[in-house]
Homo-oligomer: A and B are copies of this chain.
């Protein structure tokens, strides 16, 4: 199967959604498949980290609903940083409601997520109608959706059923579903789809609150494209050095996978 492995540049050409295409291109151009997850509670900290790690990442993952001082200027400032350093914004909202509510949660409220987040994700618990409703909001903006196929917690209830439902919805809406949150590759014959894996850390195996960690090399060799690192970088003594280190080993693992080295 390693003979079939395509580069991010080749996969950009196969993308069926503008955001997915953009992400593949950024990864190739900047030589990074690192996404930093910035779970901080103030705007100042979020913007500072975004600026520090910006040169080394393809995407920044946010939880805007944990910011104590959120306002609309935050997303404007964040978008500017993303534009300067050429990375995408991924709001880790984990949508999980019925279609009618999702449309307001994605497009409205004070966060107006669709207006600034290139990428969002959703659980499939509400069924395919939830993806259809998000798509109605996101498609006019060219946004992409990552379906939560697998979680990294110790006793997650995602299983084989969730994976097969995720694959199915990705083929139903190829113009909007750009890939998956998973622990490795689940769609082996669909190079246009992205596999993104959170819970990556070089030095820890658990957070004591149910989160399990894996190294970048392990998840990339399992077929992951985008390596999502949170506390391993943002709680490091030197955020820039940590981002470089995670970028380097994630990219090295990608190149080894690409060239058939296990």
Residues of B with C-beta under 8 A to A92: 97, 101
A239 within 8 A of B: no
**Of B69, B70, B105, B127, which one neighbours A155 at CB under 8 angstroms?**
B127
Bound: A158/B99 CA distance, A:
16
- Shortest Cβ distance from residue A25 to the other chain B in the assembled complex, whole angstroms: 30
> Is A210 touching B98 in the complex (CB atoms < 8 A)?
yes
Bound: A151/B128 CA distance, A:
13
> Is B65 touching A100 in the complex (CB atoms < 8 A)?
no
Which stretch in A28-36, A83-91, A118-126, A253-261 binds the other chain?
A: A118-126
**Of B100, B123, B211, which one neighbours A209 at CB under 8 angstroms?**
B100
Give chain A interface residues in 75-114, CB to chain B under 8 Å: 92, 94, 96-101, 103-105, 108-111
Residues of B with C-beta under 8 A to A209: 98-100, 103, 129, 132-133
Bound: A256/B109 CA distance, A:
41
Total chain A interface residues with beta-carbon distance under 8 A: 50
Given the interface pairs A99-B209, A99-B211, A157-B162, the reply to whether A66 lies near B109 with Cβ below 8 Å is yes
Given the interface pairs A39-B100, A70-B110, the reply to whether A157 lies near B211 with Cβ below 8 Å is no
> Is B68 touching A108 in the complex (CB atoms < 8 A)?
yes
Bound: A156/B98 CA distance, A:
9
Residues of B with C-beta under 8 A to A211: 98-100
Residues of B with C-beta under 8 A to A132: 209-210
Residues of B with C-beta under 8 A to A41: 104, 108-109
Give chain A interface residues in 133-170, CB to chain B under 8 Å: 133, 148, 151-158, 161-162, 165
**Of B104, B126, B156, B157, which one neighbours A161 at CB under 8 angstroms?**
B157
A207 within 8 A of B: yes
Given the interface pairs A63-B105, A66-B101, A105-B63, the reply to whether A153 lies near B133 with Cβ below 8 Å is no
A67 within 8 A of B: yes
List 7 A–B pairs whose Cβ atoms lie within 8 Å, in order of A's numbering: A66-B109, A68-B108, A96-B96, A98-B152, A129-B155, A129-B209, A157-B162
